[in-house]
Every structure is written in C-alpha cells, then in structure tokens.
Amino acid sequence: MNLFRLTIFSLFSIILLSFTAKGQSNSHWCGTDQALEEYFQQNPSERAIYNAEVERFAKEMPSVQMNKSNHKLIIPVVFHVIHSNGQGNITKAQIDDAIRILNEDFNKQNSDTSIVRSVFSNLIADMEIEFRLAQKDPNGNCTQGITRTNAPSASNSPSNRNAPKSVINWDPYSYLNIWVVNSISSGSGGNTLGFAQFPSTPQSASTYGVVIRADEVGMIGSASSADGRTLTHEVGHCFNLYHTFQGQCGTTCQFSGDLVCDTPPQFDDLNNSCNFSNSCSNDINGGTTSNPNPFTSDVPDQTENYMGYAIGCQALFTPGQKARVYAAFNSYTVMSAMTDSVNLVQTGTNDGYVSQACVPNVEINQEDKYACEGAQITFTDNSWGGPLTNYEWTFNGGTPSTSTQASPTVTYNTAGIYDVKLKISNSGGADSVIMSDFVYIGDSIGVYSGATYFDGFENAAGFANDWNIVTTGNLDWARIAIGNASSNGIWLNNGNLTNGDVRQIISPSIRLDNVSSPSLSFEVSFKRKSSSNSDELRLQYSIDCGNSWSSILNIPASLLAYDNTYSTGLFYPQNANQWKPYNIPSNFLPNNLKSSKSALLRFEFRNGGGNNVYIDNVAINGVLVGLDNNGAAKANSFSVFPNPATNMLNVELNINNNANQAEVYISNILGKRVREVVSKSTLKPNLYRYNVDLSGLASGVYFVTMQSEEGRKTQKLVIK
C-alpha cells in the first residue's frame, strides 16, 4: 500500500472513530455522524466499503470539472410532513420559508454575510444551487411538493431513526426527500434537531435525504424561535460536506477538519457557540491545485461556516466546499439524476414550467379542535392544486353552520363532539373531506363534582360516554376486564407498541372550584421488559376544555413499575400486589386546577420499550363548600354509609338547589340497575335520608348514582 492510501485510510479511521464520540455528546444537535455510526454498528462489513469510497472520491476529485454552464443546478424537493394527530403538521407557508432560506444560503443571498470577518470575507461562495418544490409527483399528478401523513410512532423519537422514511418516500433519484417529524431520537441523549445521509455511504438510496424537526423548518410558525440553518447544514451533508471539525487538526489541510483547505481545520464544535478561537495551528500546511490553501498565516476557526456548530453566526460556504459539492454531483447518481433536464420536466421544476389545470386536493389542518361552550374557533386548511377558488365549509353544531370563506371563524355554544366538512372546487374539478369527531366542545361547568368523583371503569356505557380516547387507530387505550379489587380497568397494549409511540386518554369534565382541598388518586400496574426501558406516564390537566395542557406529574418507568423484575412476555396483572397507588395531596395540585369550574385530566403514556400498563380507580376527593362570599348556593351532593355494606345501606341527599328529574339508583358492574332509590322526582332543597335493602345482592362492587338536570355523581359501593 502506498503512502497516499495509508494516509487516507488513517485519516478516515480517525474520522469514523470521531462519529461515535460525537454521538455521545449532549451538545451535538446534528445526528448525521451518529446515524452513520449506528448503521456501521448494525452492518460492520460496510465500514470498509465506505472507507474505500471515501478514498476513491478523494483521489478522483481533482479531475472533476466545475459547472461551466453558468446555469444553477436545480434540485426538485419534496417535504414529507409526518405528524402526530396534527401536532407537527406545519403549514405550506412555513415550508416555503425553509425553501427561501435554503436558496438564500446556497446562492450567497443571505443578508447576514456582513457578519463574516474580514479574514474570510473573500471566501463566501455562491454555490449556484436552487431548490424548488416539486409540482408533479412520481405518477405525474399535481403536487405542491408536500405530503402529509399522520404517523405518531414515526414522528415522535422512534428508536429506528429511519422509521419516518419507511412511512413514505419518493424516488430519491428524482427528488430530494426531506422528512419533517416532531422529535428525533438522540440515542445516548442530547437534543437532535436533524440528520442527513451522505451520498457516499453504502446505505440504500431510498433513505437518502434529510430528517428534521418541525420546529427547525424555516423561521416562522412552529420554527419562530429557530434560525433556519439546521436544514442548510443537513443538506450540506447530503451534498457530501463534512463538519468543519470532522477530522480535527490533523496534519495538512486536505487531511484535516472537513478536508477542504479554505475552511481552516477546527479541533471541536466550540460548544455550539460563536467562539472566535483558533483551535488548530496547521492552517497554512498543505493544499493542492484542486484544493488550494488560501492562507499564508495561521487564522482563527471559521465559525461562520454553515457546516460548523456555531449557532447564531453561520453565514457562508466556501469555494473549496463548492468544488467538493460539484465533484459529488459528478460522482454520485443519486445527486446528478435529480438535476437532469428530463427529470426537471418530469417533476415540474424546469424553467418556464406552466402549472397544469389541477383538480384541488383538500386537506384540513388535522389537529383536533378543543374549546369550551361559547368559544370561537378559526379553521384553516392545507389544500392545494389550484387556483383554489371556491370554499364550502359545513360546521355541525356551529354558528354559522356554513361558510364560503377560506378561513372562517365559528362559534360553538353547546357541548358535544362535531364533524367538519370542507369542499373546494375550481375549473379543474372539486374535492371534499369530512373530518369526523373533529371539534370537541367541553362543558363550561363540569359534569362531575370533584367532591365525589370516582371511576373504576366498571360501567362500559359510562366509559364510552365519559372518556375521550385520542385515537391513533392502532393499539389505543381501552377498557379491559382486569382491575384492582374490581373487575375492570383501562389498559394500553404497550408491549406491542414502538419506542416513541404516544397514547392519550382524557377524562370527563370535573368541577373543582366549589370543592375544598381536593386530592387526586389513581392506581397503576406496569412492568418493565428491561432496565433500559424509558417509558413514562404523564398526568396532565386542562382548564380550557382541552385546548391547552399543563403537567401535574411525570412518572418514569423505574418509578412506575411495581417491582424491579422484568418480563419480556406480555404482562397482565394477577393480584393486588402488582398494583401501585398514587395519591396526590391537595397542596401538590396547581391552584388554577383547584379553582376550575370545568377541568379535564389526561393520561399520556410514552413508550420506551416497556410492557403493558393498566390504570384503575381514578378518584378526586374533597369537601363541598360555598361557591363565593355572596351566599351562592352549594351544589347538590350525597353520601352513602356504611361502605362496605352488608344488608342495609343509608343514602343521604344534601339538596341545596332544586333537583329536577332527580334519580338515585344502584347499578352493578355491568351497568344494570339493581335498586331504585329515587325515581325521576323533583327534590326541593332539604336533607333526605333513605334506607336501602341490599338483601339478595351478591357480594362485589356496585355503584350508587345520583342524577338530575344538574349533572350526575357516582360513588363506589362495596357489598360484603
């Protein structure tokens, strides 16, 4: 082996080893190196193939000619928005903003080139690359270069980084695929914002492209706090550019840093800061005819480079990086095929492309709408194919019930769950969609009292009517014939979910403002599969009928599990010892929750590789008090005693307001009424006592319910 080969292989052995080290750092927001190292860990024989390709590219790069056509390279782009029930379903305007930033950065049109220090100001390159959203899909149909897929398991930190790519991908030889997700697994920790695939790796072309978080796409909408440069950085990787600190200081410039001589070698990522330091002293060493070294003295680190980590001061690519990118376009078909003139016509991105008379494709922003009675909701859509000339909205339960505006505002005065329909038409045709159960309007006054709320999930009809399962269509929360000291509870088949999956279930509305010192309790049964499981149960609350949520308690897998043993087989609790109680005293509950007239609770479970999880006996307990200092009446209430009972039960009704159509009854766990205490009567304010004969009822769990026009209250009864 000659010295050149030895140097190249030695260099890239160092670089590849550095991938693993970078993956362990919490400061690294780019996951490209770590994703590549994970691939090599799973496919160890392909590391040598990659090394050989890196060597080949380095040897042949000097013979590659730059683009002489004076025409920009045009890249057809498609954004695949992988959202989670609407979360992360970013707008086209936000995607357009990301395209704007890409085109500015790759064409030296960014307004912040003025921040580049004088030592590098003559090294700002116009890459002459333009990104355009595709106007034709792989089948030749109209598109706006955006797809939208509801796939929570692929959008929320899947353990398989490439999971979003298996949901949807377009021909990588025709389009640059960019997958937009809510979060990205960081492996050993950190905060990964995006990652890419080098064109030189032996990985499948089907995974070539960029995965990026929704809040890093552009600088508007959900990315209003971002600088928009994460995508610029990751696309640079797609075009075969390395980090400026990739090979650290090295020896000569062509074998240091990013292997480009007009980007001075850099020892590390400078802790993501604009730290104008000089971490390497070999800046003047090396250089070749095709990779010239412009420096005659030692210079500071080029923190302004897009391929570094200096957040807030990135503003340039260099001529040397441009030469490397064009060499990659001439070396890798997955890059060059995209820019072919025939492909530009087929994707609708060629100069002079005239958009077809497209049939509209209707898409409503898919995040469910939650609000309280009397609230106004503004509806928007992501429809495309145009021009979009006619809108026909239909709002069941809303005022107005119809609208022809593009973005109407609708008032909902009555609690309930409502559908929304949208039809859009133009000269090319029409398209429509019905969003079933799209609007959730909650009660302004809670249906249940926080003084006596209890649900042991014994009543199937009550569970179906009261609890809102935020459905994904796959292994959602469900009622099951397993409970603690009862026959039923709710469960999540977590053992068959994918790492990163999120499942939610929401309680009925509960009134707490007239309850003194309410406390909250529930019971959980959960088992881990291994010590590395990172599952988490989150208890949250809403005081605006589900429009926004705040945290009460987050329970990690290590605390959630009832013991420290593990089971890889699907877990089903067998006895009371496998249940763990959680009791949250009043002083630990947020004040705005305790003062709410209508509160919701939400159990959110995040899969971290663990086993099934079960919940039972959700309860809020407190003492009814006056509503205010002006003598407003107290709410009606009731109590039962003794409990547990044997042959006789006392039921005491404390009626403070007229109770119209009042009923009091006892039902079994199947929901069947077994005793009538009060049958549809009007009860005036007073204290009522009833003795109920329980003889003939089998031992077990029952429910005592008081129901009137004011609402319904239920208490658990145990008969011995």
pLDDT over threshold 80, residue 186: no
Which band of pLDDT confidence, cut at 50, 70 and 90, is reported for residue 366? low
Choice between 368 and 615, residue whose per-residue pLDDT is larger:
615
Other Cβ atoms closer than 10 A to 367: 14
pLDDT over threshold 60, residue 65: no
Question: Mean pLDDT across the stretch 515-544?
Answer: 94
Which band of pLDDT confidence, cut at 50, 70 and 90, is reported for residue 629? very low
pLDDT of residue 86: 80
Question: Mean pLDDT across the stretch 305-314?
Answer: 89
- Kindly compute the dihedral angle of the four CA atoms of residues 126, 127, 128, 133, in this order, to the nearest 10 degrees: -120
Domains of the chain by start residue, with CATH: 3-249+316-338 (3.40.390.10), 369-442 (2.60.40.10), 454-624 (2.60.120.260), 637-719 (2.60.40.1930)
pLDDT over threshold 60, residue 195: yes
Which secondary structure element, helix H or strand E, spans residue 594, and what is its range?
helix 591-594
Handedness of CA 410, 370, 467, 373 (dihedral sign): negative
Which band of pLDDT confidence, cut at 50, 70 and 90, is reported for residue 535? very high
Cβ pair 125, 316 in contact under 8 A: yes
pLDDT of residue 680: 84
pLDDT tens column, 32-41:
999 999 999 9
Which secondary structure element, helix H or strand E, spans residue 392, and what is its range?
strand 390-395
Dig out the tokens for 480 from the structure. 């099951």
pLDDT tens column, 220-249:
999 999 999 999 999 999 999 999 988 888
- The amino acid occupying position 619 is A
Question: Mean pLDDT across the stretch 345-364?
Answer: 88
Alpha-helical (H) ranges within 213-291 are 229-238
pLDDT of residue 67: 53
Highest mean pLDDT among 264-273, 544-553, 622-631: 544-553
pLDDT of residue 398: 95
Dig out the tokens for 185 from the structure. 């697994």
Which of 214-223, 445-454, 549-558 has the least mean pLDDT?
Answer: 445-454
pLDDT of residue 198: 96
234 is a catalytic site residue:
yes
pLDDT of residue 481: 95
Highest mean pLDDT among 122-131, 267-276, 632-641, 643-652: 122-131
pLDDT of residue 653: 87
> Long-range pairs for 472-477 at CB < 8 Å and ≥24 separation?
472/85, 472/150, 472/152, 472/153, 472/503, 474/153, 475/501, 475/503, 476/503, 476/505, 477/503, 477/504, 477/505, 477/603
Percent of the residues in the chain that have a pLDDT greater than 70, as a whole number: 92
pLDDT of residue 2: 34
Which of 286-295, 357-366, 588-597 has the least mean pLDDT?
Answer: 357-366
User: Which residue is it, tokens 């979003």?
Assistant: 164
pLDDT of residue 93: 92
Q: In whole angstroms, how far apart are CA 607 and each of 191, 376, 614, 660? A: 18, 35, 13, 46
pLDDT tens column, 241-266:
999 988 888 888 888 888 899 999 88
Q: Which of 234, 363, 458, 523 does the annotation list as catalytic?
A: 234
Which band of pLDDT confidence, cut at 50, 70 and 90, is reported for residue 152? confident
Dig out the tokens for 645 from the structure. 């009972």
Percent of the residues in the chain that have a pLDDT greater than 90, as a whole number: 60
Cβ pair 88, 151 in contact under 8 A: no
Mean pLDDT of the chain: 88
- Sorted by sequence, the CB contacts under 8 Å of residue 1 that are 6+ apart come out as none
Question: Mean pLDDT across the stretch 675-694?
Answer: 87
**What's the gap between Cα 405 and its chain centre?**
30
Which band of pLDDT confidence, cut at 50, 70 and 90, is reported for residue 188? low
Which of 30-44, 259-273, 629-643 has the least mean pLDDT?
Answer: 629-643
